[in-house]
Amino acid sequence: MRIPELNNGALLPLAESFYTIQGEGYNTGKAAFFIRLGGCDVGCSWCDAKETWNPGLYPPTPIEKIVDEAVKYKAKSIVITGGEPLTYPLDKLCNLLKKESMQIFLETSGSYPLSGFFDWICLSPKKRKPPVGNIHHLASELKVIIEKEEDLFWAEENRAKAAESTLLYLQPEWSRRVEIMPLIVEYVKNNPAWSISLQTHKYMNIP
């Protein structure tokens, strides 16, 4: 993946930003401003943001411009997502957001070293490019996408690396949700440390 010159995070390839309701995981149902950065080389076959993979498609955007837009809305919560946002150094963006007293939530596969600072880290590990460093231990929630039965082993492998306090979610892969849901339901009934996360924004028809 060719990363554009971004002046150590003063510019970021902004794929889109929008004010909506968080659809997944612990913060489901809460209003937040989403900053979606372009660029991801993990290559999940079922990725629902494939258009973000190539960072070259997105203009390197000054972080001041991103934050100016973010502060216009009532909710003071920001979700930084992608793509894979940790492709880039996020310290400068987080600094600016914190000056505006924003709560910052990160959605990441953890496939690049952690940068920036966050009030909430959602780690969604992917087998194709597993997490690096000690992000498991720092994760507020672990959200594992379940496409087939063997993904439950991957979920447990990651759970073993997480902190005791990390919240645990299994989320059906959207295109397989009908087939895979009974398996997830039974698994959570037998392993109640896990909860089920659904992509509720897709049911609500919102971004």
Q: Are 162 and 143 in contact (CB under 8 A)?
A: no
Name every residue whose Cβ is closer than 8 Å to that of residue 96 and which is 6 or more positions away in sequence: 63, 64, 67
Of the residues 83, 89, 110, 172, which one makes contact with ligand SF4 according to CB under 6 A? 83
**DSSP symbol at 60:** E
Task: Please give the Cα distance from 167 to 204 (Å, whole number).
Answer: 24
Residues in contact with ligand SF4, shown as a per-residue x/- string from 102 to 131 under the rule CB under 6 A: -------x----------------x-----
For CA atoms 76, 81, 86, 88, the dihedral sign is: negative
**DSSP symbol at 2:** P
> Of 44-52, 152-160, 187-195, 199-207, which segment contacts ligand SF4 by CB under 6 A?
44-52
Which amino acid does the sequence have at 69?
E
Instruction: Note whether 181 binds ligand SF4 by CB under 6 A.
Output: no
Kindly state the smallest distance separating residue 190's Cβ from ligand SF4, in Å: 27
Kindly state the smallest distance separating residue 124's Cβ from ligand SF4, in Å: 7
Of the residues 82, 89, 110, 131, which one makes contact with ligand SF4 according to CB under 6 A? 82
| Site for ligand SF4, rule CB under 6 A | 40, 42-44, 47, 49, 82-84, 109, 126
